Chain A
Amino acid sequence: MWGIFMESVVIFQNYVGYHQNKFLFGIYLFFLLYLLKTEKDKKIRAILIYTPLLILIAFFCPLFRKVFVRLFEDADTYYRLLWLVQMSTVSAYGAVKMCGKHRKLMLIVMSIAVVACGKYVYSSEYITKAENMYHLPQEAIEVAKIIEPEKGRAVALVPADLIYYVRQYSSNINMPYGREMLIANWDYYNEMYEAMEGTEVIDTPVFAELVRNYGCNYVVLNKTRKTSQSLEDYGFELYDSTENYLIYQTDQSAG
């Protein structure tokens, strides 16, 4: 039970950004305790104070976590229970209640506190300037446009950095493997993926045979990718290229 409890503590620390020295949850706890002491309205006490507190207690309860994981066969989503404590609503309500008539001063103090203790969402490494209305990398769209069949489906083998995007542009492009191969802890195995990404230099004879076995019509390679022998020697034809990718057509027709 102690081990399960400590797992919940680690999940909690990761959720609140404890290791990144972020203390937004500290603001929440401060106002939760403040409201616990001062809020007179029983309805608000029950709904906005006791309910989140009860959920916090449940979150750390090993038995509760055991039931949750058993029910969903998934421990990775346990952190979502913390969505129920409503960090922003309780903090904002507590702050407004506390300031009384000194609203302007409180607004300034709270704004500084939130900026200092939080993290600006748009500075995230996952957010970039949109290159187009699809919000996909422009070159991924260019590659997908070249491969996309006018009718029916095409099968394309693409490098890992395009896997997330190609089918967001056209679902008429199938792939021998997809995103599941890129998540290490999902623990999938695919021989085509191993041949494509698993070695520094692609072993062309093995690679060519697998490409045919998987029925690929196109192979997209990064221009810097090395192969033991030229793909052209194995019946592939350089079909088109973009700034960073070479697109080969195999001898299998799409349809």
Chain B
Amino acid sequence: MIQTVNFIFWLLVIPFCIGLVPASVMPENKRDPITVFIAGYLLMWSVFEVIAIPAVILIKYDNFTFVLRYFTAAAILLAAAGILLRYYDYRKSGGETWLGIANLRDAVFSAEAKAEWLIFAVLLGFQLYMAVTRASFDGDDAYYVVQSLMAQQSNAMYKNLPYTGWSSSLDVRHALAVFPMWVAFVAVNAGVHATVVSHVVMPLALIPLSYFVYYETAKALFGENKENAAVFMIMMALFQIFGNVSIYTNETFFLTRTWQGKAVTASFVIPLCFLLILWLYNEEKENKGRKAGLWIMFVCMNMTAGVCSSLAVFLMTILTGAAAFCIMAVKREFKLPVKLVLCCIPNAIYVLLYLGLAG
């Protein structure tokens, strides 16, 4: 029971409250609970990266203890700041309903749309059920899951070879991608074995998180047309379930190795990059108000890529560069592409650090 409460706290409450920080400088139309939740995860993982990577590199003994202590404090402080900022906004606006909840409450769905959303809910529920009741073998678990477990059981990050347990020099390529350490962090705080957290709990959090991104993408593409959004979501769910045309596709990674950083890259970070560029494009054109929150999300998304895998940093840079180039070519628009490319500065720092450590 207490474990469930801990999971709810660290996987739902804390990310949502942290998300209120960037939400306070977001356009009104983006301040809905789903966007706040996505933003919260991005900011949380970015802060985790800033604390964990120096600890991996600089601290010789018990470096995970350092992360546990300081990330717990940082996450709680950020969450508290988020609540305070939201409260301040609430008071200033004279009691406006929080975060567009009124829009959701007053939404009218046709019978057809209700049926379509129900089909989607069944497909999503099925994926979650299968994630819990089916074991997916992946050889890489002998690396990533064991890294999480070693941090939990030995308080040490990247000090030993996960395959054998013997001590080793720093494996730079993997050590900078600290996603397994975040899994270990959740495991320690919940008091649950890291392998159980990886294989059972993470899919329950990360699969819906990816669908939140797809839902926001549907909204960005179809506006308020809820019927189209529902059909889009059903299609997305079917693609995930039947996308196992090889072991390499992002759809396969999504449902068979959900807990690994590279799967998070494939199914969460990359689709989110498309979504954020769509949003930023709209807001730069139409909204003169506060949109810093979206740019914060974009920077944090690049940092999250680094948390997931070192290759993801490269992929996000290519994607951002390609999108910036296409926007420039199609719209003769220079301001947005330049800003997008500038948001990749964390990627450049990551690569320099990588090259510096790899020697």
Contact = CB atoms under 8 A, between A and B. Distances in A.
A144 to B, nearest CB: 11
Interface stretch (A15-23, A219-227, A228-236): A15-23
B329 A50 contact: yes
B155 to A, nearest CB: 11
Contact of B163 (A126, A153, A179): A179
A119 interface: yes
B242 A80 contact: no
Contact of B246 (A14, A50, A80): A14
A169 interface: yes
A170 interface: yes
A205 B329 CA distance: 72
Interface stretch (A1-9, A84-92, A196-204, A246-254): A84-92
B245 A25 contact: yes
B199 A135 contact: yes
Given A83-B270, A121-B251, A168 B238 contact: no
A93 interface: yes
Given A83-B315, A130-B134, A55 B322 contact: yes
A97 B325 CA distance: 25
A103 B135 contact: no
Contacts of A83: 249-250, 265-266, 270, 315
Nearest to A28: B239
Interface in B200-244: 200, 214, 217, 221-222, 227-228, 231-232, 234-236, 238-244
Contacts of A46: 323, 326-327, 329-331
Interface residues of B, number: 81
A86 B319 CA distance: 11
Contact of B232 (A54, A96, A130, A179): A96
B217 A136 contact: no
Given A103-B228, A122-B130, A136 B138 contact: no
Contacts of A123: 244
B193 interface: yes
A103 to B, nearest CB: 5
Contacts, number: 260
B319 A127 contact: no
B119 to A, nearest CB: 8
B134 A129 contact: yes
B274 interface: yes
A128 B244 contact: no
A124 B256 contact: yes
A25 B290 CA distance: 40
B30 to A, nearest CB: 16
Interface in B262-282: 262, 265-266, 270-271, 274, 277-278, 281-282
Given A111-B238, A119-B245, A176-B164, A45 B143 contact: no
B177 interface: no
A95 interface: yes
B318 interface: yes
Q: Which of B149, B238, B277 has the most CB of A within 10 A?
A: B238
A77 interface: yes
A79 B244 contact: no
A183 B143 CA distance: 13
B132 interface: yes
A129 B277 CA distance: 40
B271 A167 contact: no
A44 B221 CA distance: 8
Given A175-B164, A178-B161, A84 B319 contact: yes
Contacts of A93: 221, 232
Q: Which of A55, A71, A127 has the most CB of B within 10 A?
A: A127
B14 interface: no
Contact of B325 (A16, A54, A91, A92): A54
B315 A80 contact: yes
Given A14-B248, A167-B149, A171-B154, A47 B323 contact: yes
Contacts of A89: 214, 217, 236, 271, 274
A124 B130 CA distance: 13
Given A20-B245, A135-B200, A107 B231 contact: yes
A134 interface: yes
Contacts of A48: 274
A195 interface: no
Q: Which of A54, A167, A180 has the most CB of B within 10 A?
A: A167
Given A121-B256, A171-B146, A110 B244 contact: no
Given A127-B256, A167-B163, 10 more contacts: A24-B243, A42-B331, A50-B326, A83-B315, A118-B238, A121-B244, A127-B135, A133-B199, A134-B199, A175-B164
- 8 residue pairs, one from A and one from B, having the closest CB atoms: A178-B163, A118-B242, A17-B245, A174-B165, A88-B239, A92-B235, A135-B135, A22-B245
Interface of B: 112, 116, 130, 132-139, 141-143, 145-146, 149-150, 153-154, 161-166, 193, 195-196, 199-200, 214, 217, 221-222, 227-228, 231-232, 234-236, 238-246, 248-252, 255-256, 262, 265-266, 270-271, 274, 277-278, 281-282, 311, 314-315, 318-319, 322-323, 325-327, 329-331
